[in-house]
A and B are shown apart, each in its own frame.
Chain A
């Protein structure tokens, strides 16, 4: 320890030992009590009302009960949230199941099957066939083209009696065979 450290320690020791002397604690405490009495008598009506209405929150057992109640409410809230989430998941599954039921009531018509495909979340409920969005679009386009050609053909046949007669006779022959 060098001389400077010794000086520092001496100064510190001097200050530590010279604890500030507090005049007269008795007189001081009486003064504090008098001030408290004065303040008590000066309490305004709104303060009294607030104290009367909400003063109970400072009572120990009430505070603890309120904390416990708050915890219970938080747990209950969490439980409710979990329950709601579970129901939402169940509902989304149900939509797919309904889609399967819906499929059963449809005919084999392609449009209906595509509708079913869209309703069931773009998947066939059979589960084994996977079709891309592009393939479905191509299929729809081909079907539409075919339908147009079919309508044109019918139109041609309707307007040409000879052709109509010929086709009917061919069809009858085919049926007989």
Chain B
């Protein structure tokens, strides 16, 4: 079955879903080794970008946020004690920066639902098997589905349902309680479900 899938899809499925970082790299970075930090950025930036991009739906902006986050990580790397805490630390910085951006946007909403995007979703889900979407397409769909969500609900939905993080991880990243996460996730799923029911 695996070899019958298109090559593009096979490649997607082989990408690790978690940041795998050697403890030694963190130790070297803490000692001020920029080469190790370059390696660290190389490994972890795609994951940070994934979260930032899904939250903001804007490639240059997401890239800028990852860049700022990496600089912040370098400045505070001495506070990081393990590879696990590095992951949480990085995601926390990225999510906080995206969250601020989303709150700014909430004051000046610039996106509105359009028929084309719903048609795109409809076409995509009718495909068997799914093929990978371009960044711009997935951004349009996420923006459309999460348009009516609060920044908190959007953050929890992306981390939980798209990045497939556990409630414990989300709690460590966002600082929200597990009950709060569950409540926000419930409302987010409900609202998205209602939109899908209405437009698809």
Does A175 count as interface, using CB distance less than 8 angstroms? no
Residues of chain A within 8 A of B133, CB atoms compared: 14, 18
Q: Mark B138-158, 1 if CB is under 8 A from A, else 0.
A: 110110010000000000000
Residues of chain B within 8 A of A20, CB atoms compared: 49-50, 53-54, 62, 135, 138-139
Residues of chain A within 8 A of B70, CB atoms compared: 32
Whether the pair A8, B38 counts as a contact (CB closer than 8 A) is no
Residues of chain A within 8 A of B46, CB atoms compared: 22, 25
Does A10 count as interface, using CB distance less than 8 angstroms? yes
Residues of chain A within 8 A of B137, CB atoms compared: 18
Count class of interface residues, chain A = 20 to 34
Does B105 count as interface, using CB distance less than 8 angstroms? no
Whether the pair B164, A22 counts as a contact (CB closer than 8 A) is no
Does A109 count as interface, using CB distance less than 8 angstroms? no
Whether the pair B42, A25 counts as a contact (CB closer than 8 A) is yes
Residues of chain B within 8 A of A13, CB atoms compared: 130
Does A174 count as interface, using CB distance less than 8 angstroms? no
Known contacts A8-B192, A25-B46; is A35 also within 8 Å of B71 by CB?
Answer: yes
Residues of chain A within 8 A of B114, CB atoms compared: none
Does B121 count as interface, using CB distance less than 8 angstroms? yes
Which chain A residue lies CB-closest to B30? A60
Question: Among B41, B71, B121, B139, which residue has the most Cβ atoms of chain A within 10 A?
Answer: B41
Whether the pair B196, A7 counts as a contact (CB closer than 8 A) is yes
- CB contacts under 8 Å to B, within A2-60, are 4-5, 7-8, 10-23, 25-26, 28-33, 35-37, 39, 58-59
Residues of chain B within 8 A of A58, CB atoms compared: 78-79
Whether the pair A32, B125 counts as a contact (CB closer than 8 A) is no
Q: Mark B28-70, 1 if CB is under 8 A from A, else 0.
A: 0000001001110110011001100110000000110011001
Residues of chain B within 8 A of A8, CB atoms compared: 189, 192-193, 196
Which chain A residue lies CB-closest to B54? A20
What's the nearest-Cβ distance from chain B to residue A130, in Å? 60
Whether the pair A16, B162 counts as a contact (CB closer than 8 A) is yes
Residues of chain A within 8 A of B23, CB atoms compared: none
Residues of chain B within 8 A of A33, CB atoms compared: 34, 37-38, 41
Whether the pair A18, B196 counts as a contact (CB closer than 8 A) is no
What's the nearest-Cβ distance from chain B to residue A8, in Å? 5
What's the nearest-Cβ distance from chain B to residue A107, in Å? 76
Does B200 count as interface, using CB distance less than 8 angstroms? yes
Does B110 count as interface, using CB distance less than 8 angstroms? no
What's the nearest-Cβ distance from chain A to residue B16, in Å? 11
A-B residue pairs in contact (CB < 8 Å), sample of 13: A11-B141, A11-B145, A11-B200, A14-B130, A17-B9, A17-B130, A19-B50, A20-B139, A25-B41, A25-B46, A28-B63, A32-B67, A36-B37
The 4 closest A-B pairs by CB, nearest first: A29-B41, A18-B133, A22-B46, A20-B53
Given contacts A15-B142, A32-B71, 8 further A-B contacts (CB under 8 A): A8-B189, A11-B145, A11-B196, A18-B130, A19-B15, A28-B66, A33-B34, A36-B34
